[in-house]
C-alpha cells in the first residue's frame, strides 16, 4: 500500500483520466501544490482512498457496483474551494451604494449617511424567515456551482438577540438543503447598532449575556469587526473572551481600514484567523505566525472598494504566516460567491503567485476554519471534495478570466454540480 492510498477494497467513486491533479498536499506530487500528471482519485464513504498516478492505481480499488465513475478526459482537477470568509445571510441589496461609489462617494461616507452595514441590518430585520432562508440557500447554490464545497458564513446583520439567532437558523436551514459544507460564525459584533449609538456598553452587555447564550449553540466561531467606525480593540477583546467562555474560538476582522490593533489582538488571543489585514507590519505578521493565526485575505473587497491597497503579502510571506482566501461575500463591499474570481484577483491585484493563491483557497482556507487536513486537499483520509476544471491546468484559474471553469463539482465523493458539457457523471454498472 502506498502513501497515496489508505485502504484496500471496492470504492464508490472513481475519477480517472485526469491530465493534471492538484492535491494541495506537497508530499503527494510535484511542487508546493503536490501536482500529479495522468492521475486518478478514488474514494469510499466520501473520503479519498487514493490520489496519485493512474498507472499506480491498485487493482484492489476497483469500483463497486453502482459506483460513480467519471472520465476527466485529460482536464485538470483541483480540491473543492474553501471560502474562509462570507456574510451570506442578509436580505436586500446595496447596488445603489455600489453605483454611488463608482461616482466617487466613499465607503465610510456612505456608512455615515445611513447606508452601509446599518442599512442591511434594517433590510434583514424586516425580511420574513422564508425570504432570508431562500436568499441564503440561493447564494450557497451559486458558490457550489463555482466550485466551493466548504464555506464559512457569519451572522451580523441582525444585531438583536432574535435577529442574530434567526440569521444563524436561516443559515442552518440552508446548509441542510445544500451540498456545501457550512461553518457558521456568530458576528453579533459586526457593528454597534444605531439604537445603541449612545450606549455601546449596553449593546455589549446584551451581546454577552443574552445574544451569545442564544447563538453559541448554532455557531462554531465568534468574530468581531475591530476597526475604525466599528468596535475598538477593548470592545473586540471583550466579545472574543465572552465567546470563548461559550466554547467558540475567535476570528477577527482586523486592520482593514488602518493599523487599528486588531492583528495584534488576534495573535494575542490565539484566534484561528485574522481577516482583511490590509495594514500589517512586520511585528504584527511575526506575532500572527507565532500564534498560528491564519491570515485570511479578501482581495475582492479591496479590488471593489478601489482603494488601490492590497494586503502586504511580502511581509506576511516573510514572516511565515499561513495564507487563506475568502470572497467576503456581502451586499456592501463585495457581492461575489466565486472563489475562482478571488483566486484571479489575489494574483493580479493581490500579489500572490498562482500556487500561493490556489493553496490559500483550499488548504489554507481549511486551516482558517480549523479544518486543516480534513478538507481543502486531495490526500487519503481527506473529504473527496473536488472540482473538475474546464481546462488542462490550474493556471487557467487566474488566466482564463470571468467564466465558470467548474465543469463538475464533487462533494463527499458525490457529484454535487455538473454543467453537463460532455462529461459523463452517471452511476456506472
Ligand atoms: Zn467580513
Ligand 1 mean position, distance from CA 253 (Å): 6
Ligand 1 mean position, distance from CA 77 (Å): 29
In 3D space, the residue among 262, 266, 263, 269 whose CA is nearest the CA of residue 245 turns out to be 269
Ligand 1 mean position, distance from CA 61 (Å): 43
pLDDT category, 108, cuts 50, 70, 90?
A: confident
What is the reported pLDDT for 8? 66
In 3D space, the residue among 121, 127, 91, 110 whose CA is nearest the CA of residue 194 turns out to be 121
| Cα distance between residue 422 and residue 424, in whole Å | 6
Ligand 1 mean position, distance from CA 240 (Å): 16
pLDDT at 175 over 80: yes
Q: Any idea which of 38-42, 75-79, 105-109, 144-148 has the lowest mean pLDDT?
A: 105-109
Ligand 1 mean position, distance from CA 25 (Å): 28
The alpha-helical segments, DSSP class H, found in 113-189 are 117-126, 129-145, 161-177
Ligand 1 mean position, distance from CA 298 (Å): 8
Q: How many CB atoms lie within 10 A of CB 263?
A: 29
Ligand 1 mean position, distance from CA 191 (Å): 11
Cβ contact 365:84 at 8 Å:
yes
Largest CA distance in the chain: 70
Ligand 1 mean position, distance from CA 283 (Å): 23
Ligand 1 mean position, distance from CA 85 (Å): 6
pLDDT at 1 over 70: no
Ligand 1 mean position, distance from CA 187 (Å): 9
pLDDT tens digits, residue range 369-408? 999 999 999 999 999 999 999 999 999 999 999 999 999 9
Amino acid at each position: 500500500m502506498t502513501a497515496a492510498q489508505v485502504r484496500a477494497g471496492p470504492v464508490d467513486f472513481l475519477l480517472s483520466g485526469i491530465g493534471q491533479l492538484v492535491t494541495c498536499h506537497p508530499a503527494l506530487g510535484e511542487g508546493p501544490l503536490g501536482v500529479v500528471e495522468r492521475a486518478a482519485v478514488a474514494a469510499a464513504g466520501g473520503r479519498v482512498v487514493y490520489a496519485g498516478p493512474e498507472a499506480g492505481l491498485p487493482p484492489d480499488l476497483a469500483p463497486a457496483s453502482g459506483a460513480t465513475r467519471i472520465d476527466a478526459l485529460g482536464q485538470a482537477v483541483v480540491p473543492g474551494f474553501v471560502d474562509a470568509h462570507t456574510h451570506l445571510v442578509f436580505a436586500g441589496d446595496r447596488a445603489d451604494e455600489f453605483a454611488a461609489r463608482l461616482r466617487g462617494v466613499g465607503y465610510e461616507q456612505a456608512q455615515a449617511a445611513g447606508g452601509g452595514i446599518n442599512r442591511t441590518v434594517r433590510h434583514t430585520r424586516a425580511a420574513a424567515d422564508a425570504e432570508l432562508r431562500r436568499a441564503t440557500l440561493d447564494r450557497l447554490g451559486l458558490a457550489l456551482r463555482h466550485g466551493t464545497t466548504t464555506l464559512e458564513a457569519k451572522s451580523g446583520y441582525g444585531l438583536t438577540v432574535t435577529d442574530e439567532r434567526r440569521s444563524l437558523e436561516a443559515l442552518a436551514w440552508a446548509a441542510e438543503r445544500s451540498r456545501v459544507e457550512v461553518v457558521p460564525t456568530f458576528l453579533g459584533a459586526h457593528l454597534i447598532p444605531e439604537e445603541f449609538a449612545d450606549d455601546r456598553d449596553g449593546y455589549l452587555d446584551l451581546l454577552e449575556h443574552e445574544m451569545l447564550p442564544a447563538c453559541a449553540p448554532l455557531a462554531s466561531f465568534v468574530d468581531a469587526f475591530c476597526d475604525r467606525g466599528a468596535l475598538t480593540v477593548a470592545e473586540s477583546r471583550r466579545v472574543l473572551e465572552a465567546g470563548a467562555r461559550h466554547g467558540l474560538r475567535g476570528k477577527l476582522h482586523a486592520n482593514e481600514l488602518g493599523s487599528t490593533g486588531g492583528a495584534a489582538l488576534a495573535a494575542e488571543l490565539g484566534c484561528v484567523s485574522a481577516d482583511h489585514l490590509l495594514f500589517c507590519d512586520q511585528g504584527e505578521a511575526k506575532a500572527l505566525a507565532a500564534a498560528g493565526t491564519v491570515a485570511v485575505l479578501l482581495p475582492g473587497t479591496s479590488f471593489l472598494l478601489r482603494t488601490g491597497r492590497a494586503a502586504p503579502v511580502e511581509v506576511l510571506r516573510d514572516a511565515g504566516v499561513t495564507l487563506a482566501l475568502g470572497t467576503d461575500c456581502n451586499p456592501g463591499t463585495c457581492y461575489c460567491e466565486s472563489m475562482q474570481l478571488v483566486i484571479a484577483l489575489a494574483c493580479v491585484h493581490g500579489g500572490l503567485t498562482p500556487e500561493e493563491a490556489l493553496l490559500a483557497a483550499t488548504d489554507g482556507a481549511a486551516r482558517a476554519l480549523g479544518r486543516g487536513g480534513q478538507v481543502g486537499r486531495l490526500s487519503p483520509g481527506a473529504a473527496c471534495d473536488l472540482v473538475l476544471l474546464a481546462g488542462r491546468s490550474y493556471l487557467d484559474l487566474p488566466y482564463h478570466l470571468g467564466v465558470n471553469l467548474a465543469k463538475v463539482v464533487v462533494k463527499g465523493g458525490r457529484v454535487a454540480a455538473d454543467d453537463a458539457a460532455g462529461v459523463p457523471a452517471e452511476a456506472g454498472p
